[in-house]
Amino acid sequence: MPVYEYQCDECGLKVEKLWKLMSVAQTKDTIPCEECNTDMRKLVSAASFAFKHPSSQTRGALPPNTGTSDDFNFDKAIGRDAAEKWKVHEQRNTRKDTVIRDAQKGGTAPTREQLVPTASGEGYRVITEPERVKANQNRDTAFKIAQAAKKSGESPPTSDK
pLDDT in tens, 10-55: 888 888 877 676 666 566 778 888 888 888 888 776 666 565 555 5
Per-residue model confidence (pLDDT) at position 143: 94
Residue 4's DSSP bridge partners are 17
With contact defined as beta carbons under 8 Å apart, do 117 and 124 qualify? yes
With contact defined as beta carbons under 8 Å apart, do 95 and 124 qualify? yes
Question: What average pLDDT does this structure show over 149-154?
Answer: 83
CA angle (146, 147, 152) in 5-degree steps: 95
Whether this prediction's pTM lies above 0.85 is answered by no
